[in-house]
Amino acid sequence: MFEDIDDQKPDPTRKALEVSRESSDRSLVYAIWTRNAGGGMPIDQAWAILTDRYPDETRFLLLNAFEELVATRGPKAWSPTDFLAKVRRILDAAGGRLNPEVRDLLAVADDDLHPLSEEDAARLERIRARVSSRSGDPTAARKRLQRLASDVVRELHDRTAGDKAIGRTSGSVPAAAAGGEWKTALAAAKGARSTYSATAKVAAGDVVEHPKFGPGVVTGTEPGRAHILFESGSRKLVAG
Percent of all residues in the chain with a pLDDT value above 90, rounded to a whole number:
43
* Confidence check: pLDDT of 188 > 80: yes
Cβ count near 237 (within 10 Å): 17
Domains in the chain with CATH codes: 6-163 (1.25.40), 175-238 (no CATH)
- The residue type of 58 is T
Cβ count near 41 (within 10 Å): 21
* Confidence check: pLDDT of 236 > 60: yes
pLDDT tens for 79-98 read 999 999 999 999 888 878 88
For the purposes of burial, counting CB atoms within 10 Å of the CB of 142, is it exposed (0-12), middle (13-18) or buried (19 or more)?
Answer: middle
- The band of 240, judged by pLDDT with boundaries at 50, 70 and 90, is confident
Of 35-44, 76-85, 150-159, the least confident: 35-44
Average pLDDT over residues 222-226: 85
Q: What is the pLDDT of residue 212?
A: 81
Average pLDDT over residues 162-179: 62
Q: What is the pLDDT of residue 12?
A: 47
* Confidence check: pLDDT of 71 > 50: yes
Average pLDDT over residues 187-205: 90
Give 142's Cβ-side CA count (13 Å radius).
11
81 contacts 120 by C-beta, under 8 angstroms:
yes
Give the closest residue to 218 by CA, choosing from 97, 176, 99, 194: 194
Average pLDDT over residues 74-82: 76
* Confidence check: pLDDT of 102 > 90: yes
- Backbone phi, psi, residue 5, to 5°: -90, 120
For 224, residues 6+ apart whose C-beta sits below 8 A from its C-beta are 238, 239, 240
- Averaged pLDDT of the chain: 84
* Confidence check: pLDDT of 178 > 70: no
Q: What does the alpha-carbon distance between residue 99 and residue 97 come to, in Å, rounded to a whole number?
A: 6
Give 205's Cβ-side CA count (13 Å radius).
5
Average pLDDT over residues 95-122: 91
Average pLDDT over residues 159-188: 71
Give the closest residue to 178 by CA, choosing from 166, 186, 189: 186
Q: What does the alpha-carbon distance between residue 215 and residue 70 come to, in Å, rounded to a whole number?
A: 31
Give the closest residue to 152 by CA, choosing from 81, 73, 224, 46: 46
Q: What is the pLDDT of residue 111?
A: 87
Look at 36 and 136; give whichever has higher pLDDT: 136
Q: What is the pLDDT of residue 142?
A: 95
- The band of 171, judged by pLDDT with boundaries at 50, 70 and 90, is very low
- The band of 173, judged by pLDDT with boundaries at 50, 70 and 90, is very low
pLDDT tens for 44-65 read 999 999 999 988 899 999 999 9
